[in-house]
Structure 1
């Protein structure tokens, strides 16, 4: 709002007639009058005046450039201020880790560069003349620099590929000359080549591995000034085709149990196996395809295995019954069966089911109380697991552990007499059960 002047008339500030003398010229009062390389003066209103110059007033500021002084410079990269005995001002000296004469990383042979004397002008400072701490030294020739920071990688960051898949190797060099450097590439499968300007063009090296395996890829960069080397290991794995978990279906409390993961293709390189036993969420890791474990309590325990190889993952699971009492009877087969044994889990499982049905039919023992497990390898042998019958809701006592073997023996010896008797030394059962493809020796 305005204010009342003489005669009670209201005046507008800013465009009124001046009252009194013009505002005085004011300069900075604290010591140095140059700020960021220039000195500025400005005008301010008198405390007793209520208005300023009218429309004829042009500019409230005047400025001039100052001569450069020590305070207009900072320490350059790699330098720090240290007290100086020669003058009152501190001096910028190179840190212990910095070499001012070292050429920059992009300095190529045939080019020149300048090294810093330790000072640089403050950003936005406009001082001129005076002290020149940033004076340029003589330009230096870029020397031939040895290759440093050599790296070899695979495009896409994958270090596991499949046979026959295109692999793009990318070679990079952080420092050093690239025009006179030669690059010797060894891809580990017999392929070797010499390249020039490999890191300058950025062109990748394309290759295919035909056979599974682990290959050592090396790149050696060398010039007159020195050399550097980079190494990379690449896995070439065929995708997993099948996984089968082999384990005894029945075991006793605290008995050692072997768990085996059978893979196709056989024995792939660097396959990692994850084992989950029971309700545990923390898997057991192994590079071998088999582990051993024990079960402290009776009941059904589920065991799961995952096989991971490169980008391929397969899983299989089995349920193992942990019992207090059961009987294991060794079985042998006629030699003719070995000729048909491909030693695969599926074949062993099928033969086990056939033998179980055959023995159940010949002995009248319920099939659910018999389990036949054919063991891997040759000659073809098996174990017959005979279980106790479930307790019946009567007052009669069920079979005890002492009577289990007698019960099984009586039933197995009840095989019809037309089957052939096997005569051999030692205790135990000795009976043959004939099949159209093989014979089973019990005991």
Structure 2
């Protein structure tokens, strides 16, 4: 509301007199203010028309109505969802609606540690945290005041730089037989890793999240295996060679120098390193009953084989750079009984020790390399 006043007209030629009471008021009545009534006047909260003699006018202080938290967001300062183990990860909490000064904030980092703040003024520069282990962590922000609450979630992948990878492969594999291959990564606590396996001349790798894989080689020869390990932006690799042979191909090749027929030899190899084997020499199947009793032919075969072994002629290459030499350690005579009735024969039992000369040097070198500080 305003006040409308009508003043008395002055006589012509009369000068204006200064002062509030110099003019007489004829009419004074309340009225509703219009837009033109505020000309040269300051409009205040009370919406009253007042004269312009006051030097300062202040608005009436009034509390804004409170709002419940709404539109809560939690992000990282760089916008990425990946952080490195042992380095600061900074989180920013944003809220679209709500009372910033009267809203409690809680941030759970997902690793068993959480922080709380009474209002947003304390977290304007972000909240910093250092993760001590790798993995995927669920970061949860929670805002609450007297009118309601809101929650925001972020999944952060904490990685540790890969420093070394060692590819474990057997020295020899059998064609068309599955072989197990694994990769050892250091440090061990790296969280989720991606493994890329390259076999031979393949142009497309096998991709796994597991550190081991099974593979079947279809062709004989030396094959190259490469594993690449990816963690975050880092990528390292290791390469090994594996010799692929057919079943028993190495034993047959090594015994060809003795000229002993293949059907007269039985070889049983024992597990372990260094290993040993039993070699049985059988009599020919086409001998007559009279000649079966004569062991002269068998002795001649044994002597030929014995000389070849003593001259280190029976050897083969396990893998490039690893040579296997076979020699005799014991010579015995043992009966070999057939399952048929009334039929028996004799065989010479020779105990062979397979000494992995190059392989032993290679294993000792590797052991010293990875075990000794």
| TM-score, normalization by structure 2 | 0.51
Deviation at 1:187, TM superposition (A): 1.8
CA distance in 2, matches of 1:322, 1:168: 52
Q: Which moved more, 1:255-264 or 1:210-219?
A: 210-219
Deviation at 1:290, TM superposition (A): 0.3
How is 1:26-425 mapped onto 2 (pairs within 5 angstroms)?
144-198=66-120, 202-324=124-246, 325-327=249-251, 330-332=271-273, 364=312, 369-371=317-319, 412-415=326-329
CA deviation string 1:141-185 (max 9, x = no partner): 975332233221222234333333121111122334433221111
CA distance in 2, matches of 1:162, 1:153: 16
CA distance in 1, matches of 2:164, 2:110: 29
Deviation at 1:315, TM superposition (A): 0.7
Q: Greater helix share, 1 or 2?
A: 2
Please state whether the residue corresponding to 1:151 is helix, strand or coil: strand
1:152 and 1:169 in contact (8 A); partners too: yes
Task: Give the 3 Å change call, closer, same or farther, for CA 433–296 of structure 1 in structure 2.
Answer: closer
CA distance in 2, matches of 1:318, 1:434: 19
CA distance in 2, matches of 1:200, 1:267: 34
CA distance in 2, matches of 1:320, 1:291: 15
Deviation at 1:329, TM superposition (A): 5.8
CA distance in 1, matches of 2:176, 2:101: 69
Deviation at 1:203, TM superposition (A): 1.7
2:179 and 2:216 in contact (8 A); partners too: yes
Please state whether the residue corresponding to 1:369 is helix, strand or coil: strand
1:154 and 1:168 in contact (8 A); partners too: yes
How is 1:12-31 mapped onto 2 (pairs within 5 angstroms)?
none
CA distance in 2, matches of 1:434, 1:292: 26
1:172 and 1:199 in contact (8 A); partners too: no
CA distance in 2, matches of 1:367, 1:142: 94
CA distance in 2, matches of 1:434, 1:183: 68
After the TM superposition, list the runs of 4 or more consecutive aligned residues in structure 1 that deviate by more than 6 angstroms. 432-435
Task: Give the 3 Å change call, closer, same or farther, for CA 432–227 of structure 1 in structure 2.
Answer: same
CA distance in 2, matches of 1:255, 1:238: 36
CA distance in 2, matches of 1:428, 1:162: 61
| TM-score, normalization by structure 1 | 0.44
CA distance in 2, matches of 1:225, 1:245: 59
2:75 and 2:92 in contact (8 A); partners too: yes
CA distance in 1, matches of 2:318, 2:242: 15
1:363 and 1:412 in contact (8 A); partners too: no
CA distance in 2, matches of 1:154, 1:428: 73
| Structure 1 residue runs without a partner (length 5+) | 1-140, 335-360, 373-383, 387-410, 422-426, 439-443
Task: Give the 3 Å change call, closer, same or farther, for CA 279–371 of structure 1 in structure 2.
Answer: closer
Q: Which moved more, 1:190-199 or 1:278-287?
A: 190-199
Task: Give the 3 Å change call, closer, same or farther, for CA 246–208 of structure 1 in structure 2.
Answer: same
| Structure 2 residue runs without a partner (length 5+) | 1-62, 252-268, 276-308, 333-348, 361-373
CA distance in 1, matches of 2:326, 2:151: 72
Aligned residues: 228
1:149 and 1:175 in contact (8 A); partners too: yes
CA distance in 1, matches of 2:210, 2:132: 25
Task: Give the 3 Å change call, closer, same or farther, for CA 197–237 of structure 1 in structure 2.
Answer: same
Please state whether the residue corresponding to 2:326 is helix, strand or coil: helix
Deviation at 1:219, TM superposition (A): 1.1
Structure number with the bigger relative contact order (C-alpha 8 A, sep ≥ 6) is: 2
What is the alpha-carbon root mean square deviation over aligned residues? 3.9
